[in-house]
């Protein structure tokens, strides 16, 4: 998608005019309406369009203006108009005309700030994301025609300057979505590692650990998950050094199960194909690192992602197997489908030991139980640090990603005690399944301030209500993490 900031809406192919609830024009919509001799007002009063958010009304070939088409776009209540309402409007405007045959749309937000102009472009670009690389026979009328987003602003230079940051985040979200959307035959651990390694061009330092190195280091628990797969397991470490030389880093850890069959504790076939996105946590971490490097964030950050494929096989881990984790704690693997926590156990331990970070924050599509608890609109937040949890929870609502704090009460900790090892990889039955998973992870944090985000509900969306998040891979977490870093950890 091409993005341009322009000083006037002249000769727009498609002109987007924002309208607030109650059919009141925002900005200079009134002037456009007058130029059309009131055709816009007439179109509104003859329709149900009221300016409500996520609604549009197309006025074709209006006389009196040089725009080919005008899209009246609902911006919601004027007194509730904020950055997210602007994003929703820009996204909805894109969707209204994306298949129309028009090649460019012009969004007039000249009455808003330069930052908001850049944000409108950002939202339209996120809305335009589609994963079409394997659609070779897509009919022309089903193929998006819009190639350029023009945003009208009173300060083109300032909008362009603001855009560089927004563009970095948009690219990062797209990178993350692409990883999540890729099928597992294409995106297996080594291919994933190659794609992350390529981010070195952004200025990231990227280390890839293969199975030989992981064995030497003692990642036995992570390797136990991957040992049923013909694909080699990988751990990828990304470093962004944008802060002071001696500044302690912040650390992000991600579950990267490229495909989760459940292993010997095999999942039922219905819906198993969804488990290609069981690497969504790692994609959020890789996306965040992409964003930090892209916008040259003033912070030292590390990202550690554990990449494996969980397969049943003659060499696969069996239920009841006991392995010694990198931490030295022994783990009884009762259910090979509770594999994410095994991958994270070694990655968390390694991260705190090697980097001594200010905090560790992990993201994982960890438990189906999280979907039972919170439904599909909220991720769960588990933390031993109120400050860290609060910083995360403050960032989400600013970028339209919902999360909710969950408890990790010590009284449930005994549910993961094992009679044969130090810990077992599931609780007693299904009660509190997301909590016992978090308590398991906590045993591998060594007291470091830590937060665990269970994104099983939110990594993939089938019925999106958010115009900037098309159905499919969400790239969930990239925006929240980037915002959290910006608001709470940059110098
Ligand atoms: N990747 C799944 C969790 C999941 C399920 C994510 C559905 C998204 C949608 C995870 O590895 C898993 O299988 N967890 C088990 C844990 C259980 C065996 C203790 C689960 O949730 O059933
Ligand atoms: Mn599983
Ligand atoms: Zn899994």
pLDDT in tens, 404-427: 999 999 999 999 999 999 999 999
Compute the distance from residue 336 Cα to the ligand 2 centre, in Å.
Answer: 7
Q: CA 145, CA 100: separation in Å to the nearest integer?
A: 7
In the sheet that holds 403-405, the strands lie side by side as 205-209, 234-241, 300-310, 250-260, 360-364, 450-454, 379-383, 403-405
What does the pLDDT look like over 2-18, one tens digit per residue?
999 999 999 999 999 99
Compute the distance from residue 330 Cα to the ligand 1 centre, in Å.
Answer: 22
18 Cβ contact partners less than 8 Å away, ≥ 6 residues apart: 25, 26, 27, 29, 73, 75, 89, 108, 109
Q: Is 456 in the pocket of ligand 1 (CB under 6 A)?
A: yes
What does the pLDDT look like over 180-206, one tens digit per residue?
999 999 999 999 999 999 999 999 999
24 three-state secondary structure? strand
Residue 491 predicted with pLDDT over 90: no
Nearest-atom number in ligand 1 for the CA of 265 is 18
Q: CA 355, CA 431: separation in Å to the nearest integer?
A: 35
Q: Is 436 in the pocket of ligand 1 (CB under 6 A)?
A: no
Q: Is 433 in the pocket of ligand 1 (CB under 6 A)?
A: yes
Confidence bin at 479 (pLDDT 50/70/90): very high
Catalytic residue selected from 23, 267, 398, 405? 267
Asked whether the CA dihedral 478, 295, 189, 471 is positive or negative, the reply is positive
Compute the distance from residue 286 Cα to the ligand 1 centre, in Å.
Answer: 22
Q: Is 159 in the pocket of ligand 1 (CB under 6 A)?
A: no
Q: Is 279 in the pocket of ligand 1 (CB under 6 A)?
A: no
| Ligand that comes closest to the CA of residue 277 | 1
Catalytic residue selected from 341, 424, 483, 486? 341
pTM: 0.98
Q: Nearest-CA neighbor of 23 among 48, 47, 50, 56?
A: 50
Nearest-atom number in ligand 1 for the CA of 433 is 19
Residue 429 predicted with pLDDT over 90: no
């Amino acid at each position: 998608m091409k993005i341009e900031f322009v000083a006037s809406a002249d000769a727009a192919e498609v002109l987007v005019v924002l309208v607030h609830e109650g059919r009141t024009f925002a900005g200079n919509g009134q002037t456009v309406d007058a130029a059309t001799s009131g055709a816009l007002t007439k179109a509104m009063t003859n329709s149900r369009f009221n300016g409500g958010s996520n609604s549009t009304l197309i006025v074709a070939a209006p006389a009196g203006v040089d725009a080919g088409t005008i899209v009246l776009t609902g911006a919601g209540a004027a007194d509730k108009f904020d950055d997210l309402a602007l994003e929703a409007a820009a996204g909805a405007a894109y969707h209204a005309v994306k298949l129309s045959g028009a090649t460019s749309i012009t969004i007039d937000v000249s009455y808003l700030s330069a930052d908001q102009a850049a944000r409108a472009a950002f939202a339209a670009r996120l809305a335009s994301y589609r994963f079409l690389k394997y659609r070779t026979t897509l009919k022309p009328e089903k193929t998006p025609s819009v190639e350029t987003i023009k945003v009208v602003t009173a300060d083109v230079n300032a909008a362009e300057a603001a855009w560089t940051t927004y563009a970095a985040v948009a690219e990062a979200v797209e990178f993350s979505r692409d990883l999540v959307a890729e099928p597992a035959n294409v995106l297996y651990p080594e291919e994933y590692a190659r794609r992350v390694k390529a981010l070195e061009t952004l200025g990231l330092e990227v280390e890839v650990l293969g199975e030989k190195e992981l064995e030497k280091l003692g990642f036995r628990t992570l390797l136990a998950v991957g040992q049923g797969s013909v694909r080699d397991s990988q751990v990828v470490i990304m470093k962004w050094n944008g802060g002071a030389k001696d500044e302690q880093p912040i650390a992000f850890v991600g579950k990267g199960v490229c495909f989760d069959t459940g292993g010997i504790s095999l999942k039922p076939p219905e819906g198993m194909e969804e488990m290609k996105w069981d690497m969504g946590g790692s994609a959020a971490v890789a996306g965040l690192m992409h964003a930090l490097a892209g916008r040259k964030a003033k912070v030292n950050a590390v990202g550690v992602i554990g990449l494996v494929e969980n397969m049943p096989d003659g060499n696969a881990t069996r239920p009841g197997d006991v392995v010694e984790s990198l931490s030295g704690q022994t783990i009884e693997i009762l259910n090979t489908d509770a594999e994410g926590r095994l991958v994270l156990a070694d990655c968390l331990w390694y991260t705190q030991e090697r980097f001594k970070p200010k905090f560790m924050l992990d993201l994982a599509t960890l438990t189906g139980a999280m979907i039972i608890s919170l439904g599909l609109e909220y991720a769960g937040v588990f933390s031993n640090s109120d400050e860290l949890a609060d910083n995360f929870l403050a960032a989400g609502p600013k970028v339209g990603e919902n999360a909710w704090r969950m408890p990790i009460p010590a009284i449930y900790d005994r549910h993961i005690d094992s009679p044969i090892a130090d810990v077992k990889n599931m609780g007693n039955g299904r009660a509190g399944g997301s909590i016992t998973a978090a308590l398991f992870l906590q045993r591998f944090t060594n007291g470091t301030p830590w937060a665990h985000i269970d994104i099983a509900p939110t990594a993939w969306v089938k019925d999106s209500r958010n115009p900037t998040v098309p159905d499919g891979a969400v790239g969930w977490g990239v925006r929240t993490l980037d915002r959290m870093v910006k608001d709470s950890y940059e110098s």
